[in-house]
Structure 1
Amino acid sequence: RDAQPTPTNPHCQERPRTSPNKKPAPPLLPRRHRRQPPDPGKKEPAPGEAKAEEEMVGAPSSPVVNVYPLANYTFGTKEAKMEKDTSVADRLARMKVNYMKEGMRTSVEAILLVQEHNHPHILLLQIGNTFCKLPGGRLKPGESEIEGLKRKLCSKLAVNSPSFPPNWQVGECVAEWWRPNFETVMYPYCPPHITKPKECKKLFIVHLTEREYFAVPRNLKLLAVPLFELYDNVQRYGPVISTIPQQLSRFQFNMVSS
């Protein structure tokens, strides 16, 4: 008789035998995770370019500056602070005398921000009817930039009362300006042929708290000037103040409502 084929149970099929030393094949990855063959028409990035792209993906965001309404702050007056020089020529002459004694002059100035109509404004001190400047001044020999700026801010804007202690939060240095000679011209860099500059001026952003009390000398005025008025207005404010909007463009302003 012919041998009959053995019936097979689909639920009891014999599994294929594998060698005990043979590792099972890895599972297939989804299509989006599979390595694609190189595109012959695509240029491979240089090692430096690939690294730069990775760093850009994880780059930190812009620093945030909280800006509070001008109405949050209280302004008063105090005794007058007389200027040491009556003219620009006198100021340059005094600078030359101090340079012979102490060397290069180092000065620091503060950028104080407030907001009006949801737009940043900078506080400027006005002398007379036309001249405006940032609060600050010259450092003493051996004095640090932060402590010197706080001292100048107290002299120019702080209330002379222990009941209202100032809280100056000095932040980043946003600009450096150099005076190569005893002249009014300053540059945002030190010219390469200048080995002995006469002054280095640094601008710091100073973070204001939600509430502050200011006392302005009677012979000065404190103005809140919008950035759009400062921008490119060299004739009115000079090259240092008129370029502050560009220097602050890397910051993110958080307009805090009252």
Structure 2
Amino acid sequence: MTAPRRPALLLVTDLAYQARGRRYCDEDIFLASRLREAFDVALCHPRDAAALLDRFDLALVRNSGPVLHYREAYDAFRARALELGVPVYNPLVGRGDMAGKEYLVELGRAGFPVIPTVDRAADLGLLPEAGAYVVKPKLGADSVGLRFVGPTEVAGELEREGAGVLLAQPRIDFRHEVSFFFVDQDFQYALYAPDPERRWVLEPYAAGAEDLAFARRFVAWNSLPYGIQRVDACRTAEGELLLVELEDLNPYLSLDRVGEEVREAFVARLTASLASLTG
């Protein structure tokens, strides 16, 4: 008797991508090895994903690097997935980083607890005064294009690239950064960087009820039907959590920073979520 065909999963990743302080490729090699227990898995570079997609039952976008490095290929992949009806994980309807960082402006205007953010020089008066400002592209990731400028420079920086291309935020002194990781709408674990000067040296974080209520508010706003999300926040000197980023495209998971039990639970939850898309 012939065994039933296993679902074929295309894992989109850039194993050669260089990230500061981390080896993204190790995480995807590990995930691929574990997902092979349930799927027939093939890895491909994001530039090859559109051409290969018709051979697979679903695609998992993982550590594929900032989209601005391969914008045309990414747009082609999205179009091909919609044409074929192949499920993409995460789904292509994300309202967070997947769509650019415009959401930081929108959420701030709506009263959400986010770092104050504007995208036009005319709106700089809406930001609190600061000794320095962060300027970064809406389509950036992994700090690509991020720079710090003084109060007299920030307006010129925003205008130089054209309206709506860059974001400006006050540089905030904070105690630490903390990230909350979700599969679908289910919280999995949290990590934080106790030393703001060593932001990639992460440790497990015991999230309290108020912390989780903060993170879940953004997950609910994003309303993804399934997928992995990472809610990045900073804790101010006054103790308030503010959103830094809602990563819903290809969030790095820092699985090497959690214990084996937590890591295994995450893999099991992800596998079940992926399997639910294949019938």
Q: TM-score range by the shorter chain?
A: under 0.3
User: Which structure's residues are more often helix, by fraction?
Assistant: 2
Q: TM-score scaled to structure 2, two decimals?
A: 0.22
User: Which structure's residues are more often strand, by fraction?
Assistant: 1
Q: TM-score scaled to structure 1, two decimals?
A: 0.24
Q: Which is bigger in relative contact order (C-alpha 8 A, separation at least 6)?
A: 1
